[in-house]
Structure 1
Amino acid sequence: MRILMVEDERALAETVRRGLKNEGFVVDVSRDGVSGLSAATENAYDVILLDLMLPFKNGYDVLKELRQRKIWTPVLMLTAKDGEYDQTDAFDLGADDYLTKPFSFLVLVARIRALIRRGGPARPVVLTLGTLTMDPVNRSVRRGETAISLTAREYGLLHFLMRRHGQIVSKAEILHNVWDPAFEGGDNVVEVYIGYLRRKIDLPFGLHSLTTVRGMGYLLSADRLPAAAGGHPGA
């Protein structure tokens, strides 16, 4: 089994390389994002271990370009960045697993073996709801043939709603899943961003797919017309 490790910390890379070699893996090491992307593009690997903070090209950009080039090798992110949004961004771009430093070598080996057993996906999962589509690889959103530009927060909110489409989700659920746990503001911020989202995914297209269910929360449906919408159009 052949592994590519893209890691600029020489001591860590050498320690992991020696350990994986003893486990029967063949390990190639790249010290920066540019050479790592080149190696991953030109050679066949069973798993790629990819750091986020790299010289010349960060791990997010390397991962994004790999998936854009239709390279579906399983990627395990190795990083000291353990924030919730760091992990969410990595998974949205096509990462298969995420391990924060410092990590247990035994856990790393177990994760690698699990990824090898699972294998690479044939293609990324594009979320579709009626004419609304979201592609996690390039973080693009479209309504039919029209591209929709969203901020990072709007994207995160829509991503959560699309995964829960057809279900009523409360403000509390949205705050818990889309905002940082340390967020200390009121839940009225959810109403504000629901309004922003409606003005981008619904109003220009004469639709009312994102509705308010009074006293309960919000519901995202497929291509609902205003006359047929349930709930109240206001946030």
Structure 2
Amino acid sequence: MDHKSKVRHLKRVGLAGLVVIGGMQVVCAQTSPEPVASETTALPAADPGVDPAASSVLSAAPAQPVVLTADEAKQSATGNVAELQQMMHGSELSELRTTHNGSYGASLLFYGKEMTWYVALFQQKNFWRVIKTSDEGRAEAIYRDFARQTVQLSDVEIRRTRLDAQKAFTERMVAESQDRANRLQADLTVARQQQAIVADQQKQNRDEAAALQTQKLAAQAQLRTTQRQVRNLQRQLESGLPLSR
């Protein structure tokens, strides 16, 4: 084999080897599993005003509020509230979920006879808005949105309740402190009055003691004078009598 033939032979062998290696790389790339990206979704903290049973529903809820369709927005004006109130008296309506925040609440109810869901927003057990739908997913989304609205609506109410309790507690503490101050002031007044009475009594006793001391000294002097007079009179009386034997 001449030199040119050898070169052509080596080129064919090298090209075939490259084709085989490239094919192996393609096969390996197709058979190797693709890496799966791990994604962690942070759940929002549970609101203390939301029922524990509904907290999982709210945490999974989308951040954006649900926009009602034109038909859904008109439903409350077409008798849904009255319809649901009437159905509440029966036994075919099932309450699936309920969230309470302050005096506000949201409920998801199911009417199995017609496979219909009712979503209600209420305050103090009075229905405010009622949405009726045959789409379970839509009903769940509207319920989650209504439940979030109860948190927002009750915020001022809950804050007012707390402030009212704090105000009443503070006023009670002020009244108790004032009562304590009044009793201490009364005790202090009595103590001062008693101190003044005692001081007057002490002065009176001192004055009376001084007067008695003066009277005692005068009486003692008078007693001595009288005793001398008695002795003189006794001697005079006995001077003219004979001496005793």
Shared fold per TM-score greater than 0.5:
no
Structure number with larger C-alpha Rg? 2
Of Structure 1 and Structure 2, the greater helix share is in 2
The alignment's TM-score, normalised by the length of structure 1, stands at 0.18
TM-score, L = length of structure 2: 0.18
Larger strand percent:
1
